[in-house]
Structure 1
């Protein structure tokens, strides 16, 4: 459980003053709420990096608060942000959609951003990554590289489109592969994820896709210990071992924050639910392992470019 609830002002060294917003558009100051921590090296860290990008590009003050995991706590944080002159708030998770729908009427001058929810008020927006395609291309890599024809997916929730896409991508490359899909029902239950992995390893699975940002690192570390393969999730996780991580399905949350801030600054940010994909340069595959043959890497890259142009996946 995160115990740090303080608010922090992120001031870049090159700025002579952190007390004055220098944006020439609608954007004044920006706040970030995360349910746990910005130090998880995956989802939370990407939100933090998004704040830094906004600060650098627009020369505005940015703030963040950790441990924002209930509506009451969020309500107090929004009140503090409002007192500081924040007019754009990112809630870094799907739980914030409901909180913001309930709060936003009290702060019509603030625009509220959440993820994977249903934004219903004029000053609320929910962002969604169209993750099916990234899963599909990751699955193609797994289907190409498996030696045992046994692949495992450790998902957080059964609604994740990247999981369905990954399965279809595997089958597109190799219809002889058996894909074992199991769920933790949590983004960060690493104990359950590792328990699932233990069972998968007993069944000769040699490629694992841990599709949960809170447990993918320990899962990949254990896969590495066993000399097997993994597909990274959310971040480019090639730094965990290029002989282990074949590639990663990457969501560039930090860049999406910058895109959204720019739209807001220009007065062009729409309310409601917005979706983003490869074509928006906020989704990609990560570095490819040197173990993957160059011909296949070219095939994947060409397929991604075709998808970006036409919206069509390999058939």
Structure 2
């Protein structure tokens, strides 16, 4: 009997031990299937956005918010954004989103490049994307539009439409990426109108409507009759000044004709949504290439284009500009692009 009791005791220990092994194996397998979540649901893809300006500016920042919402709709992402983020608070806001578990964080503008470069090192599992940026890393991916493309063809339009041979540019900043389009704008003007003069004014802000309007008025007082706007929220002020003076204006980033239908004759458009969707999809699929700057332009899925011309633009002008754009896409026209 004692021997039988010993055998029984050994069998109980063996069965109990096997139960522990099987139990541990089930727990590990379940954890892997649930990707580390307690609820058993797949981890949510989370995308955040920071803008320096207001997202209701009708241009650059409004396009960013529209793009973020498209990421939510088409990629099923959870989204969040913070607008009007001053330079001094950018790193703090970036860290907050990173700690909240966001997978991808967009900074809408070159000004987010250096803050993202700093914070990206602290959160290697988070992807940081400065739009129009100039920094890269293992989890840091800059994007750029091909600066200069839109400048050249809006310049052609202005050179063909001016009657006074005085053309203005009201731009936000004296910055390399802004000047890249201003330089080719001048080239486009001269290509079609050797007699035209281009006057450039910098506002020092992307948002200051009164200052931009005053800069436009100063140009218009010098007989300028076509004005290119390179700004964000302040564009409306320039359009108002041009409308009051009976001059034409050319918008930027989005089709801004709705702001002043009788004044805006076309706009240089950047397909911000295409950029955001492509970058978010690559990030979600784990296909972003470290160290690469992603570039978007007229030859890259039509990421840049001119908005439909106003009826005030003669057909022969429209045809000449559109033919030049096609020649560029076909490689028959080479532009002096710095980026």
Of 133, 138, 156, the match for 2:154: 138
Deviations 1:2-46 (A, max 9, x none): xxxxxxxxxxxxxxxxx99979xxx82101011232122211111
Of 290, 299, 311, the match for 2:320: 299
Q: 1:154 to 1:79 in 2, by over 3 A?
A: closer
Q: Which structure 2 segments of 5+ residues have no match? A: 1-38
Deviations 1:147-168 (A, max 9, x none): 1111111122332211111111
Of 236, 239, 258, the match for 2:255: 236
2:154 touches 2:188 (CA, 8 Å); kept in 1?
yes
Q: 1:311 to 1:108 in 2, by over 3 A?
A: farther
1:289 and 2:313 are equivalent in the alignment: no
TM superposition shift of 1:299: 2.3
2:207 touches 2:234 (CA, 8 Å); kept in 1?
yes
Task: Give me the whole-angstrom Cα distance separating, in 2, the residues matched to 1:267 and 1:147.
Answer: 53
Where in structure 2 are the equivalents of 1:137-286 lying within 5 Å? 137-158=153-174, 159=176, 160=178, 161-272=180-291, 273-280=293-300, 281-286=302-307
Q: 1:74 to 1:21 in 2, by over 3 A?
A: farther
Q: 1:208 to 1:59 in 2, by over 3 A?
A: same
Task: Give me the whole-angstrom Cα distance separating, in 1, the residues matched to 2:329 and 2:42.
Answer: 35
SS at match of 1:176: coil
Deviations 1:103-151 (A, max 9, x none): 1111111110113332142111122211211111001111111111111
Q: Partner of 1:103 in structure 2?
A: 119
SS at match of 2:125: coil
SS at match of 2:330: helix
Structure with greater Cα Rg: 2
- For the aligned residues, what is the CA RMSD? 2.3
Aligned pair count reads 293
1:312 and 2:330 are equivalent in the alignment: no
Q: Partner of 2:138 in structure 1?
A: 122
SS at match of 1:248: strand
Q: 1:149 to 1:127 in 2, by over 3 A?
A: same
Task: Give me the whole-angstrom Cα distance separating, in 1, the residues matched to 2:58 and 2:124.
Answer: 33
Q: 1:287 to 1:242 in 2, by over 3 A?
A: farther
TM superposition shift of 1:306: 2.3
